[in-house]
Structure 1
Amino acid sequence: MVTGTAGVAAAKRAIAPLAGSSWLLRGKDGRLSAYATTEGGLLRWTEARPGGPGWQGPEFFEAKSVEGLAVAQGPDGFVHVVGRGKDKAGLPDYTHATQYQSGRPFGSWHSLGGYRYPDPAQTAKLGNPAVAVGAEGAVHVFMRNAFGGVLMRCQAASGKWGGWQDLIGSRAEDELVATATESGLIELLGVKKDKTVLRWAQEKPGAKFPPVAVIPFTVTAGTVTALETSPDAFTYYGLVPTADTSSAPSAELTAFRPEPPAAMDSTPLGGTPATEPPTRPAALRTPVDGHDCTVLAHRTATGRPALAACPTRTEDEGLWWTETGPECVGSPALALDAAGRVVIAAIATDGTLRLARQRMDEAGLSLAAWETL
């Protein structure tokens, strides 16, 4: 069992949020938990009770020599963390641990093994993992292979892991994005070196992945987020490079839907996103003032989070961004607490967790004061 150590955590600071579609997750008991990397492992903060305001942590969970930690949550509330470690020969070895209840220790780290090429130099090129949980709690772990294709290993509902499968593809960067729909469909995105997007999408829950498709969306690797904005259909948000008028890189936060019922061309969203280092926007769908809305947050060029909302699937009508909170590292996160309030979280530059909740006594998406944990 991977136990937490609060005393050790008190001397540590978060380095960055864990990778994945969100690092702020709500358990079956209604409590939120936040996850971040730190030296030698990961940190976790957990609400003391559903809806707060008190929090427990941070707790420290050891993961020596493991990098690229990614997190995902299944419909059963279980939280899965995967990472890329090394075996005795120094070659990539992937590991997985599960948190079964909010605030409880993780189960033991379980080695998923590593894919092996005849040439160890090729094996060493295997990428960091991405993780998503599909139908019946099936955990899917993806990684970029030595040639820019994708390898996958999945866990059946029984808990048994299958072998590594080759999903083909080529020239993908090491920033895969795995997401699951409410029905359990899993979709995987990869960005090629020429910034075009590779897409693997299940046609029904639990089905094999069809051949990779290239979708007409050009985006920077490491900046893509998928949000289910209609049944089993995603809207993608990411940073699209723009024509440079200076020596500094520039990009626009952009939305794209490739499929019905609301397919659209790419739509710039404004918001002056940060480009160095590239970070993903956070996306959440929830009612605001009785309207079905999409809430977005991202790290701006000033280093602070910015927040905006619009009726779902109407990004082309424009968004109004508001900067809020402290300078942060990595991507902000969004979640709904037990009271249905939007919560925005960020890892501040001093390594502390900061968050703010929606004020329910005001119209729109007004936030209460930020807290430091």
Structure 2
Amino acid sequence: MAVWSARRSRRPADAPSRRGAARPGGTPLPDSSLPATTGWLVRGKDGRLTAYAPVDGAVLRWTEQHPGGPGWTGPETIPAPGIEPHLSIAQGADGYVHLVGLRRSRLADGTPATDVVFALQYQSGLAVRDWAVVGNPYPDDPEHAARIGTPAAVVDSEGSLHVFVRNVGGGICGRSSVPSGKWNKWADLKGSGITGPIRASITPEGLMELVAPAEDRVLRWTQETKGVKFQRAEDVPARPEAGSLSSENTGPGRLTHYWHDADDGTVRAWRPDAKAPAVLGTGAGTGPVALLRTAVDGHDCTIMARRDAATGRPALAAYPTEDEALGATWTLTGDPCVGAPALALDGRGRVVMAAFAPDGTLRIARQKPEPGLALEAWTSA
């Protein structure tokens, strides 16, 4: 995820750029043109939440002291020299957290080098392993390598990490690890016209799916069975905002994909059994929609959070899972934020909404211990 929000641009939303930065508790430097992402608030196997924020040359980390709070440690600094302040964060069933980013550096002879890299955290609050190099699809062409997009990552049911990038042709290239820790070669998954970050997801049945934005459609790649190659699926006619795709498991073997419409900024939702994307509420948002499927008053609900385009404040909405016809109402909460908010369940099963203030402070709001989805007052971690 990128802490600082993106400026609108005609180029791909994840194209190489100058990096923004922030000081913990200080005033942020100018915004990065890299897009915001969500998914940066993660619950570990011990029930504690961890928040991650990439800044220039480092990743900041906050960790709950106890499951369900209230205290936090951090921000701790994880050195990340040369890495763009944009992370894809993937967690496997074992609870291990993979931080995946794009590192730009120079070789001894001055030649620029661009590599997908990742760091692994085994347990909440413990040290993160050194950054490991995955490489790029163009090892013999530094100029092409410099033009790849920010990575998307997912961990499969076997615990293997898969990474995907937009290639110079506007399609997708991917590389996968195997249980032994070795990596397969980069594969060209084809496609064209991608305008922003890729979204990689996995169903409870272990099938991976990729979606990517284009000017007038959402591109899709799916698997028929585990372990087989990706195949191009039917595109979704739409006009997605380039940096706004997100996905959530909403049923057996089913993912629902969400994005902000490029024309009016409303949230759209779609899955393969839908005739057309559904509109969820009014008003415009920016960046991706944070998603969380959980029970509210005994009902299966999908919780959504976004940054409001008009006020810059976090906004929250919920609706019965896969019943988009009922619509959703967006409620503003808290003070203006930067980037995209995040959602998670804490160790007590409460919905937690998190966002970064403009000064880099991590802000937290938890679900009240009462019926419904009301949040307690926002606090600083």
Same fold (TM over 0.5): yes
Q: Is the 8 A contact 2:200 2:210 kept in 1?
A: yes
Partner of 1:4: none
Whether 1:180 and 2:202 are equivalent positions in the alignment is yes
Aligned equivalents of 1:20 and 1:304: distance in 2?
Answer: 16
What is the match of residue 211 of structure 1? 232
Give 1:10 deviation, angstroms: 5.3
1:315 aligns with 2:324: yes
Partner of 2:76 in structure 1? 59
Paired amino acid for 1:281: V
How far off its partner does 1:113 sit? Answer: 1.7
Q: CA RMSD in A?
A: 2.2
**Once the two structures are superposed, what CA deviation does each residue of 1:261-294 show, in whole Å capped at 9, x if it has no partner?**
xx342221224233xxx41011111000011111
SS in 1 for 2:374: coil
Letter in 2 for 1:266: P
Q: Percent identity?
A: 46
CA deviation profile, 1:321-353 (whole Å, cap 9, x unmatched): 211012111111110011110000001111100
Which residue does 1:141 correspond to in 2? Answer: 163
Partner of 1:165: 187
Unmatched runs of 5 consecutive residues or more in structure 2: 1-21
The number of aligned residues is 351
Q: TM-score, normalised by structure 2?
A: 0.87
Q: Is the 8 A contact 2:317 2:330 kept in 1?
A: yes
Q: How far did residue 207 of structure 1 move?
A: 2.3
- Distance in 2 between the 1:169 and 1:104 partners? 40
| Cα displacement (A) at 1:13 | 7.0
User: How big is the shift at 1:124?
Assistant: 2.3
Residue 268 of structure 1 aligns to which amino acid in structure 2? V
Q: 1:104-143 alignment to 2 at 5 Å?
A: 104-116=126-138, 119-143=141-165
Counterpart AA for 2:65? A
Letter in 2 for 1:344: M
Aligned match of 1:298: 306
SS at match of 1:121: helix
Write out per-residue CA displacement over residues 43-102 of structure 1, whole angstroms, 9 at most, x where no aligned residue.
111110111111111111111111132211111101001111135121311211100111
Q: 1:264 to 1:342 in 2, by over 3 A?
A: farther
Report if the CA contact (8 A) 1:333-1:346 is conserved. Answer: yes
Structure 2 residue identity aligned to 1:41? A
In structure 2, the partner of 1:347 is 356
Residue 281 in structure 1 maps to residue 289 in structure 2: yes
**Residue of structure 2 in register with 1:234 after alignment:** 255
Gaps of 5+ in 1: 1-7, 243-249
**Closer/same/farther in 2, CA of residues 60 and 119 from structure 1, 3 Å limit:** closer
**TM-fit CA distance, 1:204:** 2.2
Aligned AA (1:83): G
Q: CA shift at 1:138, angstroms?
A: 1.2
Q: Distance in 1 between matches of 2:276 and 2:208?
A: 23
Alignment CA distance shift 1:323-1:201 (3 Å): same
Give the AA of the match of 1:265: A
Structure 1 length normalisation: TM-score?
0.88
**Amino acid in structure 2 at the alignment position of 1:165:** A
- In structure 1, what is the Cα distance between the partners aligned to 2:27 and 2:126? 21
Structure ranking higher on relative contact order (CA contacts 8 Å, 6+ apart): 2
- Residues 344, 351 of structure 2: 8 Å contact kept: yes
Match of 2:379 in 1: 371
Are residue 335 (structure 1) and residue 349 (structure 2) matched? no
Alpha-carbon distance change, 18 to 195 in structure 1, aligned in 2, over 3 angstroms: closer
| Offset, 1:211 | 3.0
Letter in 1 for 2:363: R
**The one of 87, 91, 97 aligned to 1:73:** 91
| d(CA) in 1 for partners of 2:244, 2:35 | 14
- The 5-angstrom pairing of residues 228-267 of structure 1 reads 228-242=249-263, 250-259=264-273, 263-267=274-278
Once the two structures are TM-superposed, the CA of residue 118 in structure 1 deviates from its matched residue by: 5.8
Distance 1:299 1:292 in 2: 24
Instruction: Tell me, yes or no, if structure 1 residue 43 matches structure 2 residue 65.
Output: no
Amino acid at match of 1:270: G
Does residue 1:99 correspond to 2:121, yes or no? yes
